[in-house]
Chain A
Amino acid sequence: MTGAPITVPSGAEEETPSSAPAAAASGRIGRVLRYVAGRLLTAGLSLVAVVVAGFFLFRILPGDPVRAMTEGREVTAEQRAELRRQFGLDQPLGQQFLDYALGLLRLDLGTSFQYREPVTELILERIGPTILLAGTGTLIAALLGLFLGVRAGWRPGGPADRINTTVALFFWSVPTFWLGLLLIVLFASGRDPLPGLFPTGGMTTPGVTGTVNVVLDTAWHMVLPVSTMVAVIYAQYLMIMRSSLMDERGADYLTTARAKGLRDALVRRRHAVPNALLPTVTLIFLNLGQVVSGVILVETVFSWPGLGQLFYSGLRVPDLGLVQGLFVVFAASVIVMNLIADLVYPLIDPRVRP
């Protein structure tokens, strides 16, 4: 795909990070630069692949995007031609791709058929609530998952492990959207005999003013969506932490720590967990795609005014311009987050330092 054979050996090296012995400082800087350049190149290629995939998915695969969008609607031939002109579909395919790719470079994601607004603007309007929801949910889920994973992995097969694993697996098996709907019926619908403790959806109550009130109101609206997200995604963090800790359990340095006379809790906290945490961090970033999936469903169920709901509204029409723009943004954000993780990871784990 790249055509450059130089990248191939570097790709093979990633598999087994060679533990570099102490070397001259200049060689070290060169290695760091090479590592960073390699990661940037990989991420860049992934982004290009996303752009190509977006074009292929939404312009080529549907055959005629305008027909797909206007299916089941009364549209005259002129309107169709107008739409085709508007989306540049009357141009040759190569020209279309060029326009689309150049537009992306200018952060122009095209026009929404449904809102008649640039997709970039729509996304910018709604990205805040999504980051708030996804960030809070991921943070809580990761903390909870890691905490419980440590409990479960330290004594595999013990009562804590059994209970935690079973509960996590159950939540993992539950469809996200169904859990959200269930929570709405239980805690928000306000049907006898259940009181409506929380709002059924949205992010704010209209008419609430004042910073403190708005924050409290938003937090109140976030309880159910965040609980849903946490319930569904914490299981994977738990399982990752559990197996990571189980791998460390037999390590020699733990025997040493025990031989020193450290108490079990101390051995776990000071020695085993920090080492088990490192591989877990990478996997958390690798699983960010799951968070995106989760946030789309949670926003749809709770009418949260973010990107996920926008995606859903685009699907319903279907508004392919909007869905395409969001596809590119979702995929690109996951790739960028992974790139950040790759670049930060060597700072916290000396073993993979280039």
Chain B
Amino acid sequence: MTAEPASTPPPAPPSPRALARRRRREALRDLAREYARHRSGVVGLVGLLAMVVLALAAPLLVDPADLTVTRAPGAAFEPPGARFPLGTDDYGRSILDLVIWGSRVSLTVGFLATVVSVSLGTLVGVTAGHFGAAGGTAGRILSSILLRLTDWFLVLPTLVLAVALAAVLPRGTGTIIIAIGLTVWPATARLVRAQTLAVEARPYVERARALGGGHAHVMLWHVLPNVMPVVLAQTTLLVATSIIAESTLAFLGVGDPTTISWGGILESARNAGAISSGIWWYMIPPGLAIALVALAFTLCGRALEAVIDPRLREQR
């Protein structure tokens, strides 16, 4: 801002689009600066990036052949040592390799389930909020029905619903994503609806409507961009929830048995009797991985929330 580029001479003011782009860039930079002030958020972000890099680099670090049950490299239940830093499981596979490889499924399911639930929650929230504020009688009824539906889902025990869905649909990663996505959206819908109502009350929305903007136009071009920050923070928090949910479903035995995920490793640890015989190296690493990743996402989400919501900003 201080070093104005010389390419904008006074007689030819920059086009509105260029101005908007610059303003957006500056807002983004301010946001990043504000975010950097939250130490826990930065820690979370670093942890998160490290985890994603690890998941992406997994094929370089681990040979998938070592993860097959039949050609496992070690003996069963070897304690941590030089060859296997975290010991081996009941088939003789390296726990470290399993955990690294498992991050791929756990993160993928976490992200995709979040995409499903956030899209659904945003759609329901914006629709309910918009038609509740600006619709006629029909719109009000639609909004009320959506709100009731959201509240109904919000009260239902999420896990029971997700497990039921995962149990009756064909086994697979897709099923898990759908089961989680279809059950954790209501909180987002509630949040987005509240934000939508706030945005709808602003004069520029009225102006857009007076100029002839239809429902779709107002929702897409005026409401959606303004609820996006809230959605972003919620997304980050939901990834943590989704990763824990994935591991829970896998642990309850309704996961995808053909893939390796953190929850799946814990389920096999329990089935192999690692708990009663105290084979701690089989069960601590995957659980710790889940906890750390979930914590990293939660820290990022909370920092984002604080950056976006000025009410929280001063409190930190």
Contact = CB atoms under 8 A, between A and B. Distances in A.
Q: Are A and B part of the same complex?
A: yes
B173 interface: no
A61 B316 contact: no
Q: How large is the interface on A (under 10, 10 to 19, 20 to 34, 35 or more residues)?
A: 35 or more
A57 B179 CA distance: 12
A35 interface: no
Contacts of A260: none
B240 interface: yes
B284 to A, nearest CB: 7
Contact of A157 (B159, B244, B315): B315
B154 interface: yes
B278 A189 contact: yes
B103 to A, nearest CB: 15
A184 interface: yes
Given A57-B168, A185-B275, A293-B159, A49 B252 contact: no
Interface in A145-188: 156-157, 166, 169-170, 172-179, 181-182, 184-185
A62 interface: yes
Interface stretch (B76-84, B92-100, B118-126, B292-300): B292-300
Among A65, A181, A182, the one with the most B-chain Cβ atoms within 10 Å of its Cβ is A181
A173 B298 contact: yes
A334 B157 contact: yes
B275 A172 contact: no
Interface residues of B, number: 55
Given A185-B283, A189-B277, A331-B160, A175 B291 contact: yes
Contacts of B147: 11
Given A169-B298, A184-B275, A286 B154 contact: yes
B306 to A, nearest CB: 11
Contacts of A42: 148
Contacts of B280: 185
Given A181-B266, A185-B275, A174 B287 contact: yes
A330 interface: yes
A312 B252 contact: yes
Interface string A174-212: 111111011011000101000000001000000000000
B295 A178 contact: no
Nearest to B295: A173
B167 interface: yes
Contacts of B276: 184, 189, 200
Given A184-B275, A297-B248, A331-B160, A157 B316 contact: yes
Contacts of A191: 277-278
Contact of B164 (A170, A181, A297, A323): A323
Nearest to A326: B160
Interface in A244-277: 246
B152 A61 contact: no
Interface stretch (A99-107, A108-116, A118-126, A314-322): A314-322
Contacts of B154: 286, 289
Contacts of B252: 297, 300, 312, 315
A61 B168 contact: yes
A45 interface: yes
Contact of B295 (A12, A45, A170): A170
B40 to A, nearest CB: 8
A175 B244 contact: yes
Nearest to B240: A173
Contacts of B152: 46, 49
Contacts of B315: 156-157, 246
Contacts of A286: 154-155
B117 interface: no
A1 interface: yes
Contact of A335 (B155, B158, B159): B155
A292 interface: yes
Given A169-B295, A175-B290, A316 B253 contact: yes
Contacts of A179: 287
Contact of A327 (B141, B160, B275, B284): B160
Nearest to A3: B141
B156 interface: yes
A57 B236 CA distance: 29
A177 B266 contact: yes
A224 interface: no
B188 interface: no
B270 interface: yes
Interface string B242-286: 001001100111100000000100100110000111101001101
A276 B270 CA distance: 43
Nearest to A1: B145
A240 B65 CA distance: 48
B169 interface: yes
Interface in B180-236: none
Contacts of A320: 167-168
A181 B287 contact: yes
Contacts of A58: 164, 168
6 contacts: A11-B147, A169-B298, A174-B294, A178-B283, A184-B276, A327-B160
Given A175-B248, A323-B164, 17 more contacts: A7-B144, A8-B141, A12-B140, A50-B156, A57-B164, A57-B168, A169-B295, A170-B295, A173-B295, A181-B269, A181-B283, A189-B275, A200-B276, A289-B154, A297-B252, A320-B167, A331-B157
- Top 5 closest pairs, chain A to chain B, by CB: A293-B159, A191-B278, A178-B287, A173-B294, A292-B157
Interface of B: 40, 132, 137, 140-141, 144-145, 147-148, 152, 154-161, 163-165, 167-169, 240, 244, 247-248, 251-254, 263, 266, 269-270, 275-278, 280, 283-284, 286-287, 290-292, 294-295, 298-299, 302, 315-316
